[in-house]
Chain A
Amino acid sequence: AQSVSQHNHHVILSEAASLELGCNYSYGGTVNLFWYVQYPGQHLQLLLKYFSGDPLVKGIKGFEAEFIKSKFSFNLRKPSVQWSDTAEYFCAASAPGTYKYIFGTGTRLKVLA
């Protein structure tokens, strides 16, 4: 069955620390991949997405993610986090030609000032 796994449920970092959030997917064939973020009190919004081409995708606010097909992974990274990055992060996947998205369970990131 198709699935998306996020193994880090809670992450606490100090400002300026580097961030890497794991995302693994289980899909047969081609896959579209997304990272969404939900800041406190705000709507869920897109950070970045990957469909094809360069496996290193850059998104908003200095985030990037790397698609590693051999590892079925799409990890989110940021070299230096800020207090304002405190949020919940969701990885999602979809199969081309479908309307269905599958989300991971989310990772709550807390950045200490």
Chain B
Amino acid sequence: QQPVQSPQAVILREGEDAVINCSSSKALYSVHWYRQKHGEAPVFLMILLKGGEQKGHDKISASFNEKKQQSSLYLTASQLSYSGTYFCGTENGDSNYQLIWGAGTKLIIKP
């Protein structure tokens, strides 16, 4: 039931791009994306609702393929501040309030 994230870890040079994937075995109502830095609270990045959509947030964007039950997070021209662990969280219905989190993708950006 837990969504599967890939890759588990990514090491990039500043300015490079990254893609993080989130896949579920169950039908999805929504997908959330959060970033958590070591010792800090998760920070909300964006939410995508069923219907298949894309969203952009500065150089961070995401897509949601409802049929494939997948979402991808795109980080463009990565900055040092993008380092952290990225989590996707999924909700399975409009009357379901339980956010089920993936295991996370650790992103390391080097200068």
The answer to whether A and B interact is no
Which residues in B have some Cβ–Cβ distance to A below 8 Å? Answer: none
